[in-house]
Amino acid sequence: MRRCIFIARNVVVLLIIFSITVFLSSFNVSAETEVVDVINITVPAACTLETTSGSGETYNVSLMPAQYEDDIGPTPISVFCNTNDGFSIYAIGYSNEEYGNTKMLSNNPAVYFDTGTNTSGTPSSWAMKLEAVTSSGAGAYTPTIVSPFNNYANVPTSYAKVATVANSVTATAEASLNAYYAVYISPSQLAGTYNGKVRYTIVNPSSEIPLQPQTTDAGKICYYPNGSNVLGSMGCQTISSSDTSATLLASNFSRDGYGFAGWSTTHDYSDSTGFYGPQEYIEFTAGTYTGQNNGLSLYARWIKSAGSLQDWSGCSSLQAGAVTALTDQRDNETYAVAKLADGNCWMIENMRLENTDTTGATNIALAQGYETGFTGLANPEAPWTTTSSYTTANSLYSIDGSTANTISGSYQANRFPRYNNVNTPTALNVADRPTDPTANNSTNSTSNAGMYSYGNYYTWPAATANTTVTSVNDYNTKSICPKGWSLPRGGDKSRETTNDFWSLVVTKLNGGTNPANYDSSNNPYYYGSAEVGPIANTLRAYPNNFVYSGYISSGSVSSRGSNGYYWSSTAYGGDRAYLLRLSSMYVYPGTGFNYKSEGRSIRCIAPPSA
């Protein structure tokens, strides 16, 4: 696993700010006993771009009318990248903290001058160039300056590549370059203090292209894919001038090799605090995104895969709240993973595993990524059948698919294919995914948004390998989760110390404060908006990212956009099992229970020792 924590294509941002005044181990214990220590160390990919001061340089220059000054600076920029797939540096004007603004601004909005390369005459102008620093040290490398920025050129109004290092570089030391600026002041330029900014961004690998910022119309929250090769589309939601809150829309985007960690307020992730869960409830001052102000632009936050989910051993090395992404080797789906408040690492996306191979060959391959004893998913292409009563037969997991769709209960409750929300036994093509996010809360419609974040739905027998667990509070030790991962445990009050949902929700996220009905209920839960609101909001907030994905019963989707249901590994009698249930009115921290034959969502958990 070469990458562990890989954020936003390793985007790093640097601001150059001007103020121009015008003025302007293994061993044997005995012959019969051997002890082997295995040390697993993961080194994350990291690319950094910084100046000697670490946050950009500020230059104060005094110029007289008709004066030209060049080589202002230089600003030394150092780059270190510990990968061998190269990097590129891009620049954009950033005056007044506005992307693409290339003006030298004064205190009077009507008085400014723009970028240009004039050295005499009119109008006033300023320009930029870069110079590579040749390094002779061991492992150092010299970046290539991209024309025309090896001479003075206009500050770009959109991201422009200004320097690059090819992917053949052995990344063992730093690369350096200098940024210079030139200014000409015309005789007619009004006296005053003028300020301009240039924003530099590094992207890795060198083939990546930084995404351009988007402007959203007032009165709207719009969602942008924010990456190359992103599938799916989303529209905007409308907010009024009197609104003081909004529930964000679950994502309908997917990107091969990347996990979706939520929404970001900046396209290059330079704001370390501006992250939201895919369906987070946010609050703001009335009128913030209406009237004279722009609407809210939200960008998909993609995390590049750091390796395999199977038998992952990197949880203990993650810091609390850290996010990485890992790929399920069974179907090459990548999931964002975070170390949450309980100290465990959780998948922070709903599971999307499915099998659409009618021959059963995929089942055999998929089974290799499960825990021992789990033989694979049912074949969803075969005709559905129903039975009149609950059965504990392990019929879902026949590799040849001959009895794969015989399932307990009176429901047609087979495995539900990815992105599907009705009882169609085939997965929807990506091109068929919805573009209308306003349909987010509707039911039984293929125009629903958020299908990527909602993931798949699984019956409890499909989520577990052993349907013979029928006693109250018995755990099922096998699951559909990748090898080395498991379903979170649930249970009643007697299992609080081993209930993973309880540990996360009550002990950590709610500071150990029990539900109001704790003493009167064997299956306590939070109820009522005053008690439950903050808890449900925290569960949906980044990085927990639980969503209201609803459930499937009798072949129809229900409660999507208003309720979330997540299976635990703990049985509740013969026909039901415990789960996490959340809505705006109640939260059952692993103490709720529903019929095993209904389709619910899945999150997998890996303890720190994994």
**Residue at token pair 């299992």:** 495
* 8-203 under CATH 2.60.40, yes or no: yes
Is the per-residue pLDDT at 504 higher than 60?
yes
pLDDT of residue 359: 44
Residue that the structure tokens 């540990």 belong to: 503
- Determine how β-strand 230-231 pairs with β-strand 174-184: unpaired
Residue 381 has pLDDT above 80, yes or no: no
Lowest-confidence segment of 18-22, 204-208, 272-276, 306-310 by average pLDDT: 18-22
Map 13-26 to HEC letters: EEEEEEEEEECCCE
Q: How confident is the model at residue 420 (pLDDT cuts 50, 70, 90)?
A: very low
Q: What is the pLDDT of residue 374?
A: 57
The predicted-structure confidence for 209-241, as pLDDT tens digits, reads as follows: 777 788 888 999 999 988 878 888 788 999 999
Residue of 448, 450, 440, 8 lying closest to 226 (CA atoms): 8
Strands 296-304 and 258-264: antiparallel
Under a CB-based contact definition with an 8 Å cutoff, are residues 594 and 588 in contact?
no
- For the chain, the average pLDDT equals 77
Q: Where does 53-134 have alpha helices with state H?
A: none
If we measure between CA atoms, which residue out of 198, 190, 151, 196 comes closest to residue 63?
Answer: 190
Rounded Cα gap, residues 1 and 138, in angstroms: 26
The separation between the first and the last C-alpha atoms of the chain, rounded to the nearest angstrom, is 15
Going from N- to C-terminal start, the domains of the chain cover 8-203, 220-304
Under a CB-based contact definition with an 8 Å cutoff, are residues 527 and 589 in contact? Answer: no
Does the pLDDT at position 363 exceed 50? no
Report residue 136 as tokens. 């002779």
**Residue 191 near residue 23, CB atoms below 8 Å:** yes
Which range among 267-281, 289-303, 469-483, 489-503 shows the weakest confidence by mean pLDDT? 469-483
**Per-residue pLDDT, 554:** 65
- Residues 565-598 have pLDDT tens digits of 999 999 998 788 999 999 999 999 999 999 887 7
What is the percent of the chain where pLDDT is above 70?
72
Task: Please compute the mean of the pLDDT values over residues 12-38 and round it to a whole number.
Answer: 55
d(CA 433, CA 421): 11
Grouping H, G, I as helix, E, B as strand and the rest as coil, residue 508 is: helix
Q: What is the DSSP letter of 8?
A: G
Beta strands 160-165 and 192-203, pairing class: unpaired
Global pTM value: 0.75
Q: Does position 151 have pLDDT exceeding 90, yes or no?
A: yes
Check pLDDT > 50 for residue 415: no
- Count of residues for the chain? 610
As a whole number of angstroms, the distance between CA 297 and CA 188 comes to 40
Q: Residue 276 and residue 68: Cα distance in Å, rounded?
A: 47
